[in-house]
Each structure stands twice: as structure tokens, then as C-alpha cells.
Structure 1
Amino acid sequence: MIETWIEIIVDIFIILLLLFGTFFIFSSTIGVLRFPDVYTRLHASTKAATLGIAGIMIGAFLFLFAEHGIVSGKLLLGIMFVLLTAPVSAHMIGRAAHHTGIKPWSSNDKQQDAYADAIKEQKNK
């Protein structure tokens, strides 16, 4: 009896992880389509998609472990790879966009570029 309750709780947890991942991937897709400039789109595509992919992969790992007793090293490596490379690639793409002269979007005329201000300040030292 207790074993069936534990199995039900594990299944519910796996379902919640899969729903969590799906929600973040869906919100990432909407963000890429709706946001106005490269920086906000980059934020949506890396932050939310990283959470979404990690949630789905953790759910798949737990499913394989709970149902079949398999410890998937490939899934663990995939989770680590996504969590380590997505933020670094977002940073590098953002820097490349800034260095090519793409300015951040602003809804008013007062466009402030804190990164450009920091670079100018560092060059003046």
C-alpha cells in the first residue's frame, strides 16, 4: 500500500517537472516572437529555454530511474551541458550584438546603455 503511494507521488512529481519544462519552453517561444530587440529576445530564448529543457530532462531522468531502474549518464551530461553552455552563449551573443552597434530598445527617448557607459569609464581610467 505504501509502495503504491510512493509510486503515485513520484509519478505526480515527474508530471509536474514535465509541465514545468513545457511551460517555460512555451513562454520562451512567445518571448522570442513578441520581444522587440535582440537583447530581450536573447534573454527569453536562453533563460526560459534553459529552465524548460532542464525540467524536461530531469523529469525524463527520474522517469527512467523510477520505472526501469536506469541511471542515464547521457541525460545527466545533457543537463549539465545545457546549464553550463546556455548562459555563456547568451553572454557572448549579447556582447557581439553590442560590439556591432545594436542599441537596446527603449520605449522613451532616454535610451541608456549601461554597458557602453561602463566601457567608456573603464577606458578613461
Structure 2
Amino acid sequence: MSGLRDVVCAVLLLVGALSCLLGALGLVRLPDLPARLQAATKPQTLGLVLILVGTAVRLEFENAATLVLVIAFQVVTAPVISQIVARSAYRTGTLDREDLVVDELAGRMDRDTD
């Protein structure tokens, strides 16, 4: 049973590390802000979750429960932070609005300035 646990742990850790690596490469290589925000949140969050689950497989239940709290905090905060960064980039003009397919924030910004 310990051998199976080791294999599951190793696979989860490697896939999580690969996901984090791909997210970091996307953060460096992608051309615009929305794509970079996508690369900064989704693969990084998935990678961290997989790494923490792989670590939790090897730990006792009491210690693994703490990792579940870390996973929940990461899953909740990463999209919110990404949204805040994107909104501030939109409001400051850093984001090229012509690249957007749908611009729902323009109507809200017009109402806020009136």
C-alpha cells in the first residue's frame, strides 16, 4: 500500500510542478494582459492544488486538513486578485480595449463618471 501511495504522490507532485512551469512560461511568453492573467491564475492554482494534494497523500489526516484550508484559500483568492488587477489595468488605460471581444465594463465606467 505504501508503494501505491508513493506513486500517487509522485505523479501529483510532478503534474503540479509541470502545471506551474507552464503557467510561468505563459506569463512570460503571452502577448497581452488578459492572456497573462489567465496564465498567472489558472495553471498556477491548479499546480499548487495538485502539489498540496500530493503532499497531503503522504501526511497524517490532522496535518492534511491544514492543507485543505490552504487549497480553499488559494482557490478563492487567486481569481479575485486577477479580477482586481484586470480592472485596475482597464481603468488606467494599460489594457488595449480594442482587443476585447466583449466590453461590459465600459457601460459601468460611463455611469461612474456621470
Does the TM-score normalized on the shorter chain lie above 0.5?
yes
Distance in 2 of aligned mates of 1:112 and 1:42: 14
Which residue in the other structure is 1:92 paired with? Answer: 84
How many Å apart are 1:39 and its aligned residue?
1.4
Which residue in the other structure is 2:50 paired with? Answer: 55
Runs of 5+ unmatched residues, structure 1: 1-5
For residues 16-36 of structure 1, what are the alpha-carbon distances to aligned partners after superposition, in whole Å with 9 as ceiling and x for unaligned?
110111011100110111011
Give the match's secondary structure for 1:114.
coil
Which residue in the other structure is 2:11 paired with? Answer: 16
For 1:24-39, what aligned pairs fall within 5 Å after superposition? Answer: 24-39=19-34
Find the partner of 1:114 among 90, 102, 111: 102
Runs of 4+ in 1 over 6 A off after TM superposition: none
Which one has a larger percent helix, Structure 1 or Structure 2?
2
Runs of 5+ unmatched residues, structure 2: none
Distance in 1 of aligned mates of 2:62 and 2:2: 17
- CA RMSD in angstroms comes to 2.2
Alignment of 1:41 onto 2:36? yes
Which residue in the other structure is 1:71 paired with? Answer: 62
Give the match's secondary structure for 1:94.
helix
Letter in 1 for 2:27: V
Of the two, which has the highest radius of gyration?
A: 1
